[in-house]
Amino acid sequence: MRAYKPKDNVQAKAYYTDRYYVSPQVPKLHVESDEIFAADLEAIKAKVDVLDAYIQVEQMVVFINPSDNYKVLELLRDECDYTQLSEMSAIDWLADRGGFEIFYQMLSMNKRKRIRIKMFINKGEAVNSVEKLFRSADWSEREMFDMFGIEANGHPFMKRILMPYDWQGYPLLKTYPLQGDEFAAWYEVDKIYGKEARDIIGPELRDTAKVDRYDSERFARLGHEVPKGTKITGNEPKNEQNYQEEGGVFMIKKFDKKDSVVVDDPQR
């Protein structure tokens, strides 16, 4: 069977994968193998439903229902001593599973343990804001909204944080191209010169690696330089490039291409 490749994922993809290649897995351990984590998991299980739990790379991962996130984080902070929310964000699974996975990375300084709480929300759903529990979620949730368009209910200031306020589109979605979309190409032109100047200026060049051989306004071709703005037809004369000073430098005789002879006799 052919491997499933989501068509609306425009991120870079491996150009070759062996058909019999099976990815190894990062080992998952049972939660019972660690006493502290086991106790924490019991405390969570007593309050809410736990969908899945395991230990991966020294940290416990707990899957919960999205409606329980506030309860769980409150429990972890007040009863299990996880005093800091180090990080939270989302992962785009729209193409495969039709939603987002959201993770909360918690840290307990007294226990020296880290827990990751994960939950899955469907497209278009919002999450409960945990900003009241951890002030750090104020900016994290704004960043999540900015990058994925996931709103947090009860957040005091749900606005974009890294992108401009009037930006359209959510950059970290898998459907969003790396160089930006149509809106991004016109954003600065519209902002600075106005929509009416679109025809004169043209869209912003957002592919930093792009070189246009026929554009003499922004690019020059080494060895084929022409005055700026010249229309290039393809027959422009070759400019000889000489990198050595006239008369040569100390110990080095000036190399002149015209005077040199190319020896192609193998018997010489």
Residues in contact with another protein by the rule CB under 8 A: 11-17, 21, 23-26, 28, 56-57, 59, 61, 83-87, 89, 91-92, 103, 105, 107, 109, 112, 114, 116, 134-136, 138-139, 147, 160-164, 171-172, 174, 176, 178, 191-194
Q: Pick the closer one to another protein by CB: 160 or 221.
A: 160
- Given a contact cutoff of 8 angstroms between Cβ atoms, the answer to whether 126 and 151 are in contact is yes
Cβ at position 223, least distance to another protein in Å: 29
Cβ at position 248, least distance to another protein in Å: 31
Give bridge partners of residue 249 from the DSSP assignment: 252
Cβ at position 187, least distance to another protein in Å: 13
- 3-state SS assignment for residue 27: coil
Q: Pick the closer one to another protein by CB: 101 or 225.
A: 101
Cβ at position 164, least distance to another protein in Å: 7
Q: Pick the closer one to another protein by CB: 44 or 142.
A: 142
- Rounded CA gap, 268 and 266, in Å? 6
- Given a contact cutoff of 8 angstroms between Cβ atoms, the answer to whether 70 and 114 are in contact is no
- Contacts of the segment 37-40: beta carbons below 8 A, 24+ positions apart: 37/113, 37/115, 40/76, 40/80, 40/113, 40/115
Of 51, 52, 50, 53, which Cα lies nearest the Cα of 34? 53
Q: Pick the closer one to another protein by CB: 136 or 232.
A: 136
